[in-house]
Amino acid sequence: EVQLVESGGGLVQPGRSLRLSCAASGFTFDDYAMHWVRQAPGKGLEWISDISWNSDTVAYADSVKGRFTISRDNAKNSLYLEMNSLRAEDTALYYCAKEAVVRGCFDYWGQGTLVTVSS
């Protein structure tokens, strides 16, 4: 059974940093690209970043480019999101998502970790 478990969320002040983790199991982690998608309270879904299976290729939404860094450790079956210079508008539930066989869509999602940016 595929499982994705996010952690690392919490309350953080504007301008500070936070590192999210996603522990994956139930599939061959290094066969798939992985993504982060967020959802602000009561709002829709926003893709923010992805990383290829071997970390060679990464991409970011403009809203987080230069502030967030995605990475992975295939030996640990883990995905990460380093978030710097956090803003109030980064407040959201952050999901990690496994890419499907079809590139660019997501066949499994974690339950999310909530990040709240507030003073």
Partner 1 sequence: EIVMTQSPATLSVSPGERATLSCRASQSVSSNLAWYQQKPGQAPRLLIFGASTRATGIPDRFSGSGSGTEFTLTISSLQSEDFAVYYCQQYDYWPPLTFGGGTKVEIK
Q: Three-state DSSP class for 42? A: coil
**Exactly one of 21, 46, 55, 116 binds partner 1 (CB under 8 A); which one?**
46
Over the window 2 to 31, marking each residue x when it contacts partner 1 by CB under 8 A and - when it does not, the resulting string is ------------------------------
Is residue 75 helix, strand or coil?
Answer: helix
CB-based contact 94:83 (threshold 8 Å): no
Nearer CB in complex with partner 1: 13/94: 94
Find out whether 61 and 47 touch, Cβ atoms under 8 Å.
yes
Q: Which residues contact 28 (CB under 8 A, 6 or more apart)?
A: none
Residue from 5, 23, 59, 114 binding partner 1 (CB under 8 A)? 59
Phi–psi pair at 111, nearest 5 degrees:
-90, -10
Which span sits near partner 1 by CB under 8 A: 10-18, 23-31, 81-89, 106-114?
Answer: 106-114
Footprint of partner 1 on this chain (CB under 8 A)?
Answer: 35, 44-47, 50, 59-62, 95, 100, 102-107, 109-112
